[in-house]
Amino acid sequence: MIIDGKGIAREIREELKVRAAAFEEKSGKKVGLAVVCIGDDPASKVYVRNKIRACEEVGIASHVHALPADTTQEEAERLIARLAVDPAVHGILLQLPLPEHLDKEALFCGIPTEKDADGFSDSNVGRLALNKCGTVSCTPLGVMELLKRYHVTVSGKHAVVVGRSNIVGRPMALLLLNADATVTVCHSRTQNLKEICASADILVVAVGKAKFIQADMVKEGAVVIDVGMDRDENGMLCGDVDFASVQNKAALITPVPGGVGPMTVAMLLSNTLDAAERTLK
Ligand code: NAP
């Protein structure tokens, strides 16, 4: 069975629309997401455009700040400091990648925990590690939402996460652990990767290599979640999993595109709404 991330994300946006309208009625103002995009990365421009479109659909005001590639650290920090105290802004998103001369960590430190729509701040990551309430990185959160909506039992299952990046693999492993899975995290130094993957009940792949996971690395009946967004030999968008061969073995599998990608944007909106609703409490 193929997981319909696009459809689930649409469903979530409908739910968020209701919550955004309720917030507006209670507070007299719109939920606001500030998007800071620095530089000319073409992929970032597409992602930002998708996020703005999704905000519009749900009724969230997006405040876009597109800065040139030669923006100084001081200018970027000044903007973030202004957004941090702007009452019309409930969530701040700093689009990655940033130009190399900018100190990413210092900029993220300027985003207050309560406005950290991406869940990248040290305090939110710490809360996740301690299994406490906080804002969670959108992509892994989207994966958990897909598992939930497809009624996948996580507790007691062997979940294998391939990739340990700060934005996907690491928080993904923590979320699965917090949901009582037995978690194995694999990375570029892992030995016996094939055997470990083939023992997974739930396999989440975030490596960034086209069709890296082949059918012989997947257990019959496994749930396979492909986070990858890569290009194949013909320049077509594909995932880290060889969908054509693996779909015959998996009980559930996400396609690329139309799997995890749309969920990332939906979770960004959800995190922003959570942040706005917290201001009412
Ligand atoms: P990343 O920062 O480059 O991390 C890749 C991870 O894969 C690293 O932990 C690396 O191990 C591991 N790896 C590399 N080669 C490996 C190998 N041969 N065997 C096992 N592990 C290996 O990438 P990322 O930011 O996590 O993104 C991963 C993929 O997800 C990309 O395709 C990206 O475009 C996609 N993505 C999609 C979404 C979405 O919304 N769908 C969001 C974010 C990312 P080391 O740590 O040892 O180097």
CB 59 within 8 A of CB 73: no
Q: Is the peptide bond before 257 cis (omega within 30 degrees of 0)?
A: yes
pLDDT per position as a tens digit, 160-173: 999 999 999 999 99
Neighbours of 112 (CB within 10 A): 16
Please report the atom of ligand 1 found closest to the CA of residue 239: 32
Catalytic residue among 4, 30, 95, 115: 95
What pLDDT shows up at residue 161?
99
What pLDDT shows up at residue 132?
98
Low-confidence ranges of the chain (pLDDT < 50): none
Q: Is 51 a catalytic residue?
A: yes
Report the distance separating Cα 99 and Cα 255, nearest Å: 31
Q: How far is the CA of 207 from the centre of ligand 1 (A)?
A: 3
Q: Is 232 a catalytic residue?
A: no
Domains present along the chain, CATH in parentheses: 28-114 (3.40.50.10860), 138-260 (3.40.50.720)
What pLDDT shows up at residue 177?
98
Ligand 1 pocket (Cβ < 6 Å) reads 139, 162-165, 167-169, 186-190, 193, 206-208, 227-230, 260-261, 264
Report the distance separating Cα 130 and Cα 219, nearest Å: 31
Catalytic residue among 4, 116, 118, 240: 118
Strands (DSSP E) contained in the chain are 31-38, 60-67, 91-94, 158-162, 182-186, 202-205, 223-226, 230-231, 237-238, 252-253
Q: How far is the CA of 208 from the centre of ligand 1 (A)?
A: 5
Catalytic residue among 4, 30, 51, 240: 51
C-alpha dihedral (119, 67, 56, 142), degrees to nearest 10: -30
Helix runs in 73-208, H state only: 73-84, 104-109, 122-129, 138-149, 169-178, 193-198
Neighbours of 192 (CB within 10 A): 10
Q: CB neighbours of 189 closer than 8 A, spacing ≥ 6? A: none
Task: List the residue whose alpha carbon is closest to atom 17 of ligand 1.
Answer: 188
Q: How far is the CA of 166 from the centre of ligand 1 (A)?
A: 10
Q: Is 247 a catalytic residue?
A: no
What pLDDT shows up at residue 281?
86
In the block, tokens 């700040």 appear at 65
Please report the atom of ligand 1 found closest to the CA of residue 208: 32
What pLDDT shows up at residue 256?
98
Task: List the residue whose alpha carbon is closest to atom 22 of ligand 1.
Answer: 188
